[in-house]
Amino acid sequence: MKIAKKSGQTKPVNLKLQIMDEQGYRYKGPEGYHSFIGQVMAHLGYVGGYETGNIGAHILLSDENGIIDLTCVFIRDDKKWKSRASIIRCGHTREDIKNCLIHWHERFTGNKTGPWGTLMGVRPTKLVHHFFDRGFGDKEIITILQQQYRVEKEMAERLVHMSRLQRPFVMEPRNHVALYVGIPYCSSHCLYCSFPSRLVGKEEEAGLQAFSKALETDLQDLNKLCRQYSLTVDTIYIGGGTPTCLPIAILKDIIQSVAANFSPVQEWTVEAGRPDTATKEKLALLRQYGVDRISVNPQTMQQRILDVLGRHHRVEDIYTMFNNCRDLGFSVINMDFIAGLPVQNVKDMQENMEIVCQLWPENVTIHTLALKKRAPLFHHPLRDRIPSQEEVTKMLEYCDARLVEKGYIPYYMYRQKYMAASFANVGYAFSDAIGKYNIQMMEERQTVLAAGPGGATKFINLPEHRLEKLYMPKEVNAYMASLEEKMQLRRKLCTYIYGREDR
Ligand code: SF4
C-alpha cells in the first residue's frame, strides 16, 4: 500500500454557496443565445436544461441592428427585480451579457456570486495555462483571477496550484499524443446516466464480433497515422460504457488489438465501472497486456442507493473487485463517486470517504450529478429525491476536506455546462499517481486520437492550441457504417496538422 505524501500547498476549498430552493428560469429570444444563457443561469444557481414549477427568473433578449436588448426579471417570493440594458454587438458581446446578468443577480440577492466569480467555462484551468503561456507568475495570476474574474481567493489559489502541477504534463512535445477507445456497451442502464450504451446481454455474438472487427480496423488506421507522422502514443484510455461487460473472448480481441498497435505506453487505463462485470479472469487479462490503471467505480457504497440506481450488484462485489485489482498488481486504482444521487445524504458520502480512507486507492474522482434530459431519472419519480444543493455542497466540502487531509491532491477539474452553482467534478491523486491522460484530455494541449463509437479525435493546431475535431457516431451501427468515411476525414485532418512543413 502506498503512503500518501501531503501537499504543502493544497487547502480544502470552501464552496460557500448561496443556497436557494431549486429554481428555474425562462428565456425568450434568439435560439443562438439560448445555450449560453443556460450556462450563465446555471452558474447563478438556476436549474439549467429543464424547467421546474418554481420560476425564479425571466430573461428576454432581442438582437436587432447590432444592438442587444437584454431584460431580466428576478423573482423571489413576492419580490421582483427588473433590469434592462442595451449592449452594442461586438467581439465581447457574450461577456457583456454574462456580466450584466451576474451583476443584476448580485444586486437582487445582495450576495456575491460565489467562489467562481464570473469564471464560467467547463475547463477553468485552461485560462490559467493561457496566463502561464504569457509569462505571468502564480501570484499575478491569482490576483488577475480575483480582480478581473472576481474568483474567490481560495478558489483562485487552487486553480493556480492545480495548473502548476499540470504544467509538465501539458508541455510535452506535440507529437506525443493520447489514445481514447470507446466501448459503448453496459450490463444495465443506470438511472442517472444519459450515455446511449447498448445492453451487452441483448447483443448477438455476431454483432459483438462485427463491432470488435470494426474497432480493430479503426485502431490499425490510427496506428498507420502514428507511424506516418512519427506520433508517439503516451497514454491509452479505454472507456465507454463499461468495457469489462464484454464477453472475455471479445474483450481479449480488443485488448490484443490495442496492445499490438500501441503498447508499451506510459499509462494505460481501463474503465471497469461495474464490479459485477470485472471478473478476476478479465482483470488478469488486462494486466497481462499491460493495463496498469483501473477505474473501479462504485459511485456510492450503500446498497439501498445502488439498488434504486439499477446497478445490479452487491456492495461486497466492489470490495472483491478492489482486492482482485490489488492482488493483480495494478499500479493505480481509481474510484469514482457521485454526489447528489437520489436518496443519498451527507452521511452516505461521509461513509464513502471513510471507506476510501481504508482502501486507499491512488486516485479518487468526485463527480456531481448533472441531470440530463436523456437520463431515465429525468422523468422518474425519484427525481424528487435528489438531494438539495445545500446537501450536495456539504457532501463536496466533506469529500474535499477529508481527501486533502489524507494527502490526496486535487489535480484536474471540470464543470459541466449546466452544472448548478459552484459544483465541479474533481480528480484527486497521490502525488506519485497523477493520471496523465485525464490532464491531457481536460486541458486540450495534447492531441487525443480516438477510436470506437462516440470517440472524439482532437488535433491540436498550434500555436493557438486551436482544436480540429472529428467525432465518431455514438451508435454502433452508424459507427460501423461510416467508419471508412470518418477514417478518411481523420487522415486528412492529421495531414493538415502534422504533415505541414511549417509545423
Ligand atoms: S455503467 Fe456507466 S455508462 Fe453504463 S449506464 Fe451506468 S453510468 Fe452509464
Cα(194) to ligand 1 centroid in Å equals 8
Whether residues 323 and 445 fall in one domain: yes
Do the domain assignments include residue 234? Answer: yes
Whether residues 92 and 211 fall in one domain: no
In testing the pocket of ligand 1, which one of 242, 299, 308, 321 has its CB within 8 Å of the most ligand atoms? Answer: 242
Rounded CA-CA distance 305/163 in Å is: 35
Residue 241 is given by DSSP the state S
- Percent of the chain past pLDDT 70, that is, above it, reads 92
> What pLDDT is stored for residue 14 in this prediction?
52
Do the domain assignments include residue 144? Answer: no
- 367's grid cell: 463527480
Distances (CA, A) of 86 to 34, 41, 70, 323: 18, 19, 6, 61
Do the domain assignments include residue 161? Answer: no
Please give the residue range of the domain that contains residue 95. Answer: 24-104
Q: What is the pLDDT of residues 136-192, one digit of tens each?
A: 999 999 999 999 888 999 999 999 999 999 999 999 999 999 999 999 999 999 999
- 402's grid cell: 477529508
Do the domain assignments include residue 12? Answer: no
Q: Does position 5 have pLDDT exceeding 50, yes or no?
A: no
Least confident of 61-65, 375-379, 461-465: 461-465
CA angle 328, 273, 265 (to 5 degrees): 55
Rounded CA-CA distance 312/307 in Å is: 7
Averaged pLDDT score across all residues of the chain = 91
Do the domain assignments include residue 491? Answer: no
Whether residues 296 and 417 fall in one domain: yes
Average of pLDDT values for 54-80? Answer: 91
Q: Which of 409, 431, 451 is the last residue of a domain?
A: 451
Average of pLDDT values for 404-417? Answer: 92
Sorted by sequence, the CB contacts under 8 Å of residue 16 that are 6+ apart come out as 114, 115, 152, 422
- Report the nearest atom of ligand 1 relative to the CA of 193: 8
Cβ 286 vs Cβ 270: under 8 Å? yes
Average of pLDDT values for 343-354? Answer: 98
Q: Which of 76, 104, 132 is the last residue of a domain?
A: 104
**pLDDT tier at 366, thresholds 50, 70, 90:** very high
Ligand 1 contacts (CB < 6 A) are 186, 189-190, 193, 195, 197, 240-242, 273-274
Q: Does position 4 have pLDDT exceeding 50, yes or no?
A: no
Write 163-168 long-range contacts (CB < 8 A, 24+): 163/125, 163/128, 163/129, 163/132, 164/138, 165/409, 165/411, 165/434, 166/125, 166/129, 166/411, 166/412, 166/439, 166/443, 167/129, 167/132
- Report the nearest atom of ligand 1 relative to the CA of 188: 5
* Count of domains for the chain: 2
Cα(239) to ligand 1 centroid in Å equals 10
**pLDDT tier at 2, thresholds 50, 70, 90:** very low
> What pLDDT is stored for residue 51 in this prediction?
54
Q: Whose CA is nearest to atom 2 of ligand 1?
A: 241
**pLDDT tier at 120, thresholds 50, 70, 90:** confident
- 371's grid cell: 441531470
- Report the nearest atom of ligand 1 relative to the CA of 186: 4
Query: What HEC string does 481-497 produce?
Result: HHHHHHHHHHHHHHHHH
Average of pLDDT values for 340-363? Answer: 97
Sorted by sequence, the CB contacts under 8 Å of residue 329 that are 6+ apart come out as 287
Do the domain assignments include residue 208? Answer: yes
Domain CATH number, residue 41: 3.30.160.100
Q: Which of 407, 427, 451 is the last residue of a domain?
A: 451
Q: Whose CA is nearest to atom 8 of ligand 1?
A: 193
> What pLDDT is stored for residue 420 in this prediction?
53
Cβ 379 vs Cβ 325: under 8 Å? no
Cα(306) to ligand 1 centroid in Å equals 12
Cα(310) to ligand 1 centroid in Å equals 10
